[in-house]
Every structure is written in structure tokens, then in C-alpha cells.
Amino acid sequence: MNAMPQPLPGCRILVAFGTRPEAIKMMPVLAALRHQPRLRPLACATGQHGGLVADVLAEFGERADIDLGAQPAGQGLPLLTGHLLAAMAGAIAATRPDLVLVQGDTVSAFAGALAAHQAGVPVGHVEAGLRSGDLQNPWPEEFHRVAIDALAALRFAPTAAAAANLRAEYGSGQVLVTGNTGIDALFRARRTGVVPVELRPGRRMVLVTAHRRENWGVPLLRIADAVAALAARGDVDLVWPLHPNPAVRDAVTARLGAVPGVHLLGPLPYGDSVALLRAACLLLTDSGGMQEEAPAIGLPVLILREVTERPEVVSAGAALVTGTATAVILAAANALLDHPDRLAEMARPVFPYGDGRAADRIAEAVALWWEAKRSAGRADAPLRDQADQPDLVDRL
């Protein structure tokens, strides 16, 4: 762990993130907080994804004020959770923040929220209110997000449906519909990357990502079998940037490493990932973040999960839930690839996750919360919802 910075006047906010997706979604928030004169954010990298997060920070021109150090490889969830809980408790004790801000549903977010709660520090939850309704799917993320929301003083919901979940569980109070900060990051990076692979002449690109814990093992191999079968069509190339975890990387490489038309890549800069989204004609993914980004790009999605906590993308007509059965994935993908009219119908850009200004709304709300706390000795006044967002088709 590097040396802790000394507390500064104003509202001290410990902005914690540990995984690459968290870092991407927190970079716009960090920048927006720094533009508020009464706020003093400190960026805290927990080390869960180590070098991947460092690359994101560099790409966004940011740095970690606090780095808790890379986590030992091969830790199971209990050891990782305990390690991060202790590390975050130490960071909170050293910096004495007025607010700990976490994002999403990772082990880092859960440990940060729990450590803050145990220290008596208010918690703000970015991307609050997502629910699949099944604690096993996604696992362990569904439990994490429910637990973080229970601890949070400020709940920043990406959509009206997420806010409704929160109000059903907790009543009125500190809930604000902001949009998703991932769209903020997407808008910033949409022109910065390059497609890092050369396709065969005349082939369309199908982009694939899969890494969720609940898909490790047999489900991941079923997805790989579907990818191999799609490659055999001969009219598409499949590009799969692999998660570096050996449970994903080694299994997929063993199955698909020698399959013609399948391009297995390492982790990519975020800008290059966005360039792939823009170049693809179809996305197969179990990633939550890509379910949010693809609709704004106009990229149809097949969701490689049994359930999704992001139903807005399905309701908008931009995605279908297939699960991980090889035959089901193949049938859905072939139906779209063989019928350009169906594919085009799903390829209309839609914006269920906001207008790219979520981070500004979060920063403004935190500033107002801080002023209310200082002036009245309390910070429980309801946050105000934002108006409906305008049409955004021209933004990309």
C-alpha cells in the first residue's frame, strides 16, 4: 500500500474501485467530483484487478491516490473478501472520509461498503437498485448489490426501474435516477480506439465476451462450442477478448485456439473495446457493462445468462436472453445472421441507460448532500429525480 494522503478540508470522499469495469465506470465520477469545489475525492484502487485497473487509469488520464496493492492470485471468495475488507478498513481509518463511494456489485464494492459501514462512514452506491431476483444469478454479484444497497445512505440508480426496486425495498429517501456512468465513459471513448484484429475479406464480425463466475466450467464450454459452430458458417469472424483469469482464458483457448475464423485476444484498452463494439454486427456476452453499452452503439445483443438484472435492454428490443445452451445460442445467432431485416431491427440505437451525464448528476447530488449535512446536521433529505432524457441517436 502506498502512503496515505493527509485529509483535506471539504467533503472527503473515498472513491473505491477494484476491477476493470468498476474503474471504467468510476472515472467519469472521479472527474465530476473534482469539478465540485466543496468535494475532495481520493481515488482508491483495491488491487482486485491490479494492472488492468492501472491501464484504465492511464487511459483516462487519472491516477490512484491510494493503491492497496495487487491481490494474491488464486484466492477464493472468502479469502479475497476478508483481505479486501481489512485493506479497505485500513484505508478508511487512515483517510477519515466523510463518504465512501462504491460502484456496482464486485467483491471490492461489497468490502468497501461493509468496511465503511463498520467504521460509521456513510456509503454512496453508484449503479444501485439492479435486481435479478435470484441470489444465485449472477453469483455472487446479486447478493453483493443487495447488501450494498442495504448499507447505502446515497443510492444512485441508473434507471427508473432500478429506482423502483429501491423504493419498494426501502421507501422514499436517498434515491436518485442518474443514468449509468458507463454511458459517460462510452461517449468519451467512442472515437479513441482502433479495431485490433484483421478480419477475413467479406466477413462480418461477431463479438464475444464471457467471464462470469456462474458460467465457469461447463457453461463456458457450451458457449465455446457455439462459437466454433458459428465460425463454421464461413461468413463471419468471431472475436473474443479473453478475461485473464485462467478459469476463462485456459478453457477457451484449449477449445478454440485452433479454430479458423476465431480470434482470441488478450485484455484490450477500453477505447479498442469500444471500437470492437462499433465494428461488430452482433454481440454475444454475459457482461453487464456491455449490455448497457451495446444499445447506445446500435449493436444487437444475445445475453449469455439465464436471467439479466438489466431488463431495460430487452424491453427496448436490443437484446435477447439465450442462456448458455449451445443449441439455443446457435439458433438465436443464426436467426439474426440469416435475416438482415431482423438484425437491422435490433440495431437501432436506443438509450435506456442515460444521456452520458450521470457522473455530473452524482457529483451535484453529493455536493448538495454535503451542504445539507453541514448546515442542518443531517443528510437524509430526499434526492430529486431527473427529467426524462432527450433523444440521443445523434450522440454516437
Reply yes or no on whether 35 is catalytic: no
At 200 the pLDDT is: 82
Among the listed residues 141, 142, 149, 293, the single catalytic one is 141
Is 368 a member of any domain?
Answer: yes
Last residue of a domain, which of 346, 367, 386?
346
At 391 the pLDDT is: 37
Give how far the C-alpha of residue 54 lies from the chain's centroid of Cα atoms, to the nearest Å: 16
Provide the 10 A C-beta neighbour count for residue 281: 18
pTM of full prediction above 0.95: no
User: Same structural domain for residues 335 and 379?
Assistant: no
User: Same structural domain for residues 87 and 128?
Assistant: yes
User: Same structural domain for residues 335 and 369?
Assistant: no
Cell reading at 384: 430529486
Reply yes or no on whether 293 is catalytic: no
User: Same structural domain for residues 247 and 338?
Assistant: yes
10 Å CB burial of residue 196 (0-12, 13-18, 19+) is: middle
Reply yes or no on whether 213 is catalytic: yes
User: Same structural domain for residues 94 and 112?
Assistant: yes
In the chain, how many domains are there?
Answer: 2
Among the listed residues 167, 213, 233, 278, the single catalytic one is 213
Reply yes or no on whether 83 is catalytic: no
Among the listed residues 190, 243, 263, 361, the single catalytic one is 243
Q: How far apart are CA 391 and CA 349, in angstroms?
A: 10
- Asked if 343 contacts 300 with a C-beta cutoff of 8 angstroms, the reply is yes
User: Same structural domain for residues 304 and 386?
Assistant: no
Is 190 a member of any domain?
Answer: no
- Asked if 149 contacts 357 with a C-beta cutoff of 8 angstroms, the reply is no
* Amino acid sitting at position 110: F
Q: How far apart are CA 280 and CA 237, in angstroms?
A: 10
Q: Express each pLDDT in 240-257 by its tens digit.
A: 999 888 999 999 999 999
Burial 308-331 (b: 16+ CB within 10 A, else e): bbbbbbbeeebbbbbbbbbebbbe
Q: How far apart are CA 243 and CA 211, in angstroms?
A: 6
Neighbouring residues of 331: CB distance < 8 A, sequence distance ≥ 6: none
Is 191 a member of any domain?
Answer: no
End-to-end CA distance of the chain: 40
Question: In tens digits, what is the pLDDT along the chain, a chain of 396 residues?
Answer: 666 655 446 899 999 999 999 999 999 999 999 999 999 999 999 989 888 999 999 999 999 999 998 776 667 889 999 999 999 999 999 999 999 999 999 999 999 999 999 999 999 999 999 999 999 889 999 999 999 999 999 999 999 999 999 999 987 668 999 999 999 999 999 888 899 998 888 899 999 999 988 999 999 999 999 999 999 999 999 999 998 889 999 999 999 999 999 999 999 999 999 999 999 999 999 999 999 999 999 999 999 999 999 999 999 999 999 999 999 999 999 999 999 999 999 999 999 999 999 999 999 999 999 999 888 765 454 555 443 443 333 333
Q: How far apart are CA 262 and CA 30, in angstroms?
A: 37
Is 153 a member of any domain?
Answer: yes
At 7 the pLDDT is: 47
User: Same structural domain for residues 170 and 216?
Assistant: no
Reply yes or no on whether 141 is catalytic: yes
Cell 482464458 belongs to residue: 249
> What is the domain-level CATH number for residue 276?
3.40.50.2000
Among the listed residues 22, 65, 67, 127, the single catalytic one is 127
Is 149 a member of any domain?
Answer: yes
Q: Express each pLDDT in 36-53 by its tens digit.
A: 999 999 999 998 988 899
10 Å CB burial of residue 37 (0-12, 13-18, 19+) is: exposed
Give the domain extent around 309. Answer: 204-346
Is 228 a member of any domain?
Answer: yes
Q: How far apart are CA 203 and CA 206, in angstroms?
A: 9
User: Same structural domain for residues 84 and 127?
Assistant: yes
Cell 436472453 belongs to residue: 321
User: Same structural domain for residues 138 and 278?
Assistant: no
Reply yes or no on whether 105 is catalytic: yes
User: Same structural domain for residues 316 and 367?
Assistant: no
